[in-house]
Amino acid sequence: MLRKLRGKLFISIAIAALIGVAFSLYANTEHIKEAFATFAYELLPIVLTLTVANYLVRFVRWQFYLHALRIDIPRSESLGVFMSSLSMAVTPGKMGELVKSYFLKSIHSVPISKSAPIILAERVTDVLALLIISMIGAYSIGYEKKIIIIFSLMFIAGIAVIASRTMSMKIIRFAERFRFVAKWIKPIEIAYESSHTLLVGRVLLVSTLFGLVAWFSECIGFFFVLDGLGVHLKLLSAAFIYAFSTVVGAVSFLPGGLGATETSLAGLLILAKIPKGVSVAATFIIRACTLWFAVIIGAGVLSYMQKRYAVTLNERFENN
């Protein structure tokens, strides 16, 4: 696992370095340095605290999902499993977070097909929460609303398909006709049952509310980053820019949204008539305080979890 993680980290760091070079050339290195020099670094503890709040609220949601699927493990172990997955924030679509399912199987013999849908449900409610924040922010500043509304309706339609057992079972039965899919039908059915439980009714509503609280805390952190650079946008304006850019990164399926999120963040700030150097500096700071902060914490917890439980996931993770 650690070898695989190191490989992904090196690739992501290389991508991040290239993005940094490209942004520096675009915005002028000297202007970016000037922006960093004026930043109120005493605000960093507040930004990082809000980022940690995001992690803790999402952990509560993780516990809520485990309870919904009747997966019972000690809370301290559950926290370790959840925090270790932060190291996988730089995998495409964050699907590396399946490490949580591998830990649950290795430590408590929980079938992967039963727990893996939690990762899907987390991503769905994350995007849904971010879209809600984006829509509220867009309306508050009079930004182009049609694109966000159309995107939101398409996303909600996808959730409706999962929520409809009849429609979903028809899709599964159709897929069963294909030989390469047929042997996986039983795990697919188990996974669907878990997904259906997590993406309907009260469970969907409560988990989306958790998502709103978690991601709005990072939006507030972005607001403080801008304030520290002397940019005084309204909170909902900053929330729209951060939330929508995070959605762009999520749907791009690039590792950690690298490139897509940064371009969207800087681009929207520049459209808001904020100088290029300041826009790029704000982008670098918030990504360091969210994405890379998560990776560092997650890597440390992952290493601890492997040593504590003597779990070796290398072969299993690489073969799946």
φ and ψ at 92, to 5 degrees? -55, 125
Sequence ranges of the domains in the chain: 2-318
pLDDT at 154: 67
pLDDT tens column, 172-223: 666 666 665 565 556 666 666 677 778 778 888 899 999 999 999 999 999 9
Give the span between the Cα atoms of 211 and 89, in whole angstroms: 16
Residue 312 has pLDDT above 70, yes or no: no
Give the span between the Cα atoms of 286 and 183, in whole angstroms: 45
> What is the value of pTM for the model shown?
0.83
Give the span between the Cα atoms of 203 and 127, in whole angstroms: 16
pLDDT band at 135 (very low <50, low <70, confident <90, very high): confident
pLDDT at 299: 86
DSSP at 6: H
pLDDT tens column, 104-129: 988 888 888 888 889 888 988 898 89
Region 84-107: mean pLDDT is: 79
pLDDT tens column, 44-84: 999 999 999 999 999 999 999 999 999 999 999 999 999 99
**Of 94 and 273, the one with more pLDDT:** 273
pLDDT tens column, 252-265: 777 778 888 999 99
Region 240-267: mean pLDDT is: 87
Structure-block tokens of residue 117: 């849908």
